[in-house]
Structure formats: structure tokens, C-alpha cells
Structure 1
Amino acid sequence: MSSLAAINIVDPVQLVVGWALFAVVLLTEGFALVHSIAQRAEAYTAAGKLTKPSWVGINLAAILVTVVLGLPTVSILGLIAIIASLVYLVDVRPALREVSEGGSSSW
């Protein structure tokens, strides 16, 4: 029984899952930031969304919060950061694409 008690598989698995989650969140926020920078400023106004500097700032702040605080599930600020980037990706990005391409909103 003592040899089985010494084996702890939960901690390494938890560590790997945590780092994987951190990487996915950081890549998602990074993609949102790069996409927000690459779009024309007029497209944001035409789509009826916040301005380009606002979205770039929001996405940059999301990355900074994630890097400083770590995993997004650790704090309410981390959750707000990933949610802000996800809002950009699921709401603003399709609207910008529709404005830029004239009606085609496929990913």
C-alpha cells in the first residue's frame, strides 16, 4: 500500500492540462489582437462596433492580464480577459468580415 500511496499522477496531469489551457487562451487572445490590428479602422465604424483603437486596446489588455495573472480561471480579471477576446472573435470579427467582403460572413 505504501508504494501506491507514493505515486501521484494527479499533479503532473493537472500541470500539463493547466499549461495546455494557458497556451490555448494565449493563442486565442493573440489571434484576436493580430486580427484587430490588421483590419481597417473604417470597417469598425461601418460594422457599428467600437473603434479600432478600442478593440486593439481591449485585446492587448487581455493578453497582458493573462500573462501577468496566469490561467484565466484563477481570477475574475482573467475570465474577463478571455471573454473579451472571445467576444471580439465571435461578434466583431464576423461583422468586420461582412463589411469588408460585402455580405459573406463565413469563417
Structure 2
Amino acid sequence: MLFPIPPLDLSLLDVWVMFLAYYAGLITGVFAFAHALSQRADAFTAAERLTKPAWLGITGGGTFALLLFSLAGPGLMFWLAGLVAVLVYLVDVRPRLIEVQRGPRW
């Protein structure tokens, strides 16, 4: 459920924050999925992380949850779970993949 653009009114600042958070999370999810898709499969094993198909499923499912659920109501729990899944990839797995593929630094 996509958020509609709220009207420009200072009293709706909380709506604007939720609007920006929703789309920032969605962009983050798409970036994480695209990054996982573009990496070599053997880099995941070399980095001692889950396999590439597992991370594609995690980031793809997280991005789907970010797209499907909104920040209002009971869907917030699933939206947050999707965001956490995507952020775990970006904070933990992505730096390790980059380090493994770059090689040892002198």
C-alpha cells in the first residue's frame, strides 16, 4: 500500500515524516536486494555468511514487506521486520562481502 503525497501543511509534519520514512525504507530495500543480486555466489561462502539464494530471499522478502505494508496500523510490525532484515544485510553482510572481494589490504 503506497502512501499518497500529503498536502503541504505544517500541522501535518508527522504525516510527512512517515511518508519520507516509508519511501526511504523502500529505496533501502531495493538497493539491498540489487546489491545481493549483483554479488558473486562464492563471496557469500568466503565471507562466512548465508548463501546467496538465502540472502536474496531475505532481502527480497524484506523489500516486499516494505512495499506491501504501511506504517499505520497492524502492518507496522511487518514493515519493521522487513526493514530490520534489509538493514542486517546492509550493516553486516555487505561490508564483509566488499572486504572479501577486495582482497587483503597492505
Percent identity of the aligned residues?
A: 38
Residue of structure 2 in register with 1:4 after alignment: none
Distance 1:79-1:65 versus aligned 2 partners, 3 A rule? same
TM-score w.r.t. length of structure 1: 0.80
Q: Pairwise mapping of residues 1-107 of structure 1 onto structure 2 (< 5 A)?
A: 9-10=10-11, 12-71=12-71, 74-103=75-104
Matched to 2:102, the amino acid is E
TM-score w.r.t. length of structure 2: 0.81
- The superposition leaves residues 71-103 of structure 1 with CA deviations (integer Å, 9 ceiling, x where unpaired) of 389522211111111110111001101110014
Divergent runs of 4+, >3 A? none
- The superposition leaves residues 34-66 of structure 1 with CA deviations (integer Å, 9 ceiling, x where unpaired) of 000000000000100011011111111111111
Distance 1:97-1:16 versus aligned 2 partners, 3 A rule? same
Matched to 2:25, the amino acid is V
Residue segments in structure 1 that go unaligned for 5+ positions in a row: 1-7
The number of residues matched between the two structures is: 96
CA RMSD of aligned residues (A): 2.0
CA contact (8 A) 1:26 1:63 kept: yes
State the SS of the aligned residue for 1:26: helix
Taking the aligned partners of 1:38 and 1:93, their CA distance within structure 2 comes to: 11
How many angstroms does 1:23 deviate by?
A: 1.1
Residue segments in structure 2 that go unaligned for 5+ positions in a row: 1-8
Where relative contact order (Cα < 8 A, 6+ residues apart) is larger, the structure is 2
